[in-house]
Amino acid sequence: MIKFKEGQDAKQMLLKKYIRGLLIDKKMTLTITKAKVMKSVMERCVEKAKAKNEANKNYLLRQVTDKKLVDIFFDEVGPAFKDRQGGYLKIKRLGARVSDGAEMALLEWTVLVGKAKEAKKEVKVDQTKKV
């Protein structure tokens, strides 16, 4: 696994944010290094989303920490890739970022998964509630 300079805890939180963003927006722009790490993490999550059982649900809850996003995994992502063996995400290189010259990439699903606008509305409503 690749090390980021922020540390292990910061890396885990960053990946959780990216997973949430990819489920809601269906694509995202990252650096090449982060896109490669994110792709491997998401491919493991998609494999878990194919079969709905308690162990897979617990694994996905550890990754996203939101039950509605776990439901998106099981209801939309899992069935969309049921017959596929890998290759759920693709990385497109975008070139260097203007500000610091970092190589950028676009990470997106190979198959369109669900409806992005409906998921955005549901998640925004959940974020306004205080726990």
Radius of gyration of the chain (CA): 15
**What is the domain partition of the chain in residue ranges?**
8-128
DSSP, res 4: P
List, for residues 51-78, the tens digit of each pLDDT value: 999 999 999 999 998 899 999 999 999 9
Closest CA to 81 of 126, 38, 118, 114: 114
CA distances, 39 to each of 31, 105, 109 (Å): 12, 12, 10
Angle, alpha carbons 37-80-24 (nearest 5°): 55
Structure-token match 């998964």, residue found? 113
Angle between helices 32-49 and 8-25 in degrees, nearest 10 = 70
> Is the per-residue pLDDT at 114 higher than 80?
no
Could you tell me which residues are beta bridge partners of residue 104? 31, 95
- Predicted TM-score (pTM) of this structure: 0.77
| The CATH number of the domain covering residues in 8-128 | 3.90.1030.10
List, for residues 14-53, the tens digit of each pLDDT value: 899 999 999 999 999 999 999 999 999 999 999 999 999 9
